[in-house]
């Protein structure tokens, strides 16, 4: 079974993102697949390179990165949702007059229309 994961919850302050991450891990343990995780609405905060919890706490950004590397996942972020929330790449940040953006290199941009075209490739869509 092929899953598309749709994350709308922030990395901290709700269980959505953590539940999504744990669900993805369990999908792979059951020998199913996830190739794409799409972050939308407040879920785009998961792509912020500025996430820096204390060392004694769990760092969800690093966990997303580990999953991406281990399973060759695409971590996709909606650009419109990101721009509204200040999650921008270095290139966009410079256009707005800032020195540096805060978009993590683990993630990539993907529009809603691109997401819509890819939906037919999956058996299930799970939203967190």
Q: Which of 17, 15, 12, 1 has its CA nearest to residue 77?
A: 17
- As a whole number of angstroms, the longest Cα–Cα distance in the chain is 47
CB 108 within 8 A of CB 77: yes
Catalytic residue of the set 78, 87, 88, 110: 78
Helix (H) or strand (E) holding 82: helix 79-84
- DSSP type of residue 43: G
102 catalytic per annotation: no
Q: How far is CA 82 from the centre of its chain?
A: 11
DSSP state of 48: B
* Residues designated as active site: 78
């Amino acid at each position: 079974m092929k899953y598309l994961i749709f994350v709308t919850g922030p990395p901290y302050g709700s269980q959505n993102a953590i539940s999504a991450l744990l669900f993805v891990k369990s999908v792979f343990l059951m020998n199913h697949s996830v190739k794409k995780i799409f972050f939308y609405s407040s879920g785009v905060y998961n792509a912020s390179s500025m996430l820096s919890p204390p060392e004694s706490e769990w760092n969800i950004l690093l966990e997303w990165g580990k999953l991406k590397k281990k399973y060759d996942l695409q971590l996709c972020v909606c650009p419109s949702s990101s721009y509204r929330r200040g999650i921008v790449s270095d290139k966009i940040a410079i256009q707005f007059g800032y020195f540096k953006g805060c978009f993590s290199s683990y993630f990539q941009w993907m529009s809603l229309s691109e997401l819509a075209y890819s939906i037919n490739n999956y058996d299930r869509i799970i939203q967190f």
